[in-house]
Amino acid sequence: MSREARTLDTKKAKRSLYNMPKLKTNKSAKKRLKLTKTGKLRRFKAGRRHLLTSKSSNRKRGMRKSALVEGRLGKITKKLLPYG
């Protein structure tokens, strides 16, 4: 093995030691959730897709607003979006 080949191998080995692997973003979470400026997760409320005639106006109006993913579920869900 030539000297050049050995130095290339050691450079590759050092590079893999010091660089952390890239994390994958969960695409379904990316489409459904947004991160607020304070770092909380915002989600949209369920129940706005169909069968709306049986629901009251107040109930439908409340579903327009977004909600926060809170508690333990919020911490777990944040891991799905490593880069915000």
pLDDT tens digits, one per residue of 49-59: 999 999 999 99
Mean pLDDT of the chain: 88
The full set of domains in the chain, from first to last, is 25-84 (4.10.410.60)
Mean pLDDT of 41-70: 96
Mean pLDDT of 29-41: 94
Mean pLDDT of 33-39: 94
Cβ-contact 25, 81 below 8 angstroms:
yes
Mean pLDDT of 38-52: 95
74: CB partners within 8 A, 6+ apart: 40, 41, 68
pLDDT tens digits, one per residue of 20-30: 889 999 999 99
